[in-house]
Amino acid sequence: MSDKEAYRLFFPERYQSEVLYTLPEYGKIHKELQSAGVTLKLLWQEYVDQCNDTNGIAVGYAKFCEGYQKQYRLTNHLAHKPGVSIQVDWSGATMQLLDPATGELRKVYLSVGTLPYSQYIYVEPTIDMKSNTWLHCHMNMVAFFSGTTIRLICDNLKTGVISHPKEGDIILNEQYVVLANHYVMAVMPAQVRKPKQKAAVEGAVGKIATAVIDSLRNELFTSMGDLKVAIREKMTVFNETPFQKREGSRQLIFAETEQAKLRPLPLVPY
């Protein structure tokens, strides 16, 4: 018997369903979902319209979603789309910088930014966590990514958010709003005590403790320039290391999928 005949014999209901209905092209649907604003509901409606135009019979919305999830349940989710958001935060762990003139050890803070879809990470060391430093880190971060996103998701630090009440308007740092407007990004603070809303950067902060801080723990730096070079080298290795539960690496997915989805930078930096 042919494969088709055997399939019909063993799975008569499934065979009849596939013959009767015009099945969706899930590979095309998966690519379409990577665009901002595109949902399964929208793509299903377009699929139904196409079936109507060609006298085909469309599957229902539940079946449409079920078929997609069976094929793409292990890919990087509908939760994050390429080029839509950047998540930013300060690392809880710190490093140290030796002042050769006084022998004093100065605390060094780490600003962290990540693109949730590719999990591509940017890290910058600073000597304080003041507002101007926060803004400069953002400028350097978008230059590193070579583009911006629609959303800028931050924690509720005073450098970015003045007030985030349960009810009423969120009050943002005025300078932070001006920077976001310059890069045409919407600042969207995570809800208080809702770390899952910026899980990508929370996870990145934890991994940086191992990839950067722990790996450089036996080295002593006397200049911020040398420290920045060392951190950049460690982050390059980290971004290029293959995922354990996902194909490719942060660098590869960023270069192949996400970079092209970013908005171009303005001609003049902030």
Q: Which two tokens stand for residue 231?
A: 């951190």
pLDDT digits (tens, 9 = 90+) for 101-116: 888 999 999 999 999 8
| pLDDT(229) > 90 | yes
Q: Measuring CA to CA, how many Å separate 24 from each of 11, 39, 174?
A: 20, 15, 48
DSSP state of 262: S
Residue type, 78: L
pLDDT for 264 equals 94
151-203 pLDDT, tens digit per residue, is 998 876 666 565 555 555 666 778 888 999 999 998 887 655 544 545 545 66
pLDDT, tens only, 106-146: 999 999 999 988 889 999 999 998 889 999 999 999 999 99
Contacts by 62-65 with C-beta closer than 8 Å and gap 24+? 64/24, 64/40, 65/40
| Residue 74, pLDDT score | 46
The structure's pTM equals 0.68
E strands, the chain, where? 85-90, 95-98, 105-115, 120-126, 151-154, 161-163, 171-172, 186-187
Q: Collect all residues with Cβ–Cβ distance below 8 Å to 206 and sequence separation of at least 6.
A: none
Mean pLDDT of the chain: 82
**What are the pLDDT digits (tens) for 5-35?**
887 788 877 766 666 778 888 888 887 877 6
Helices 174-182 and 131-145 pack at an angle, to 10 degrees, of 20
Sorted by where each starts, the structural domains of the chain and their CATH numbers stand as 3-72 (no CATH), 85-261 (3.30.420.10)
Q: What are phi and psi of 143, to 5 degrees?
A: -65, -40
Predicted confidence (pLDDT) per residue in 68-96, tens digit: 877 776 444 446 788 999 988 888 888 99
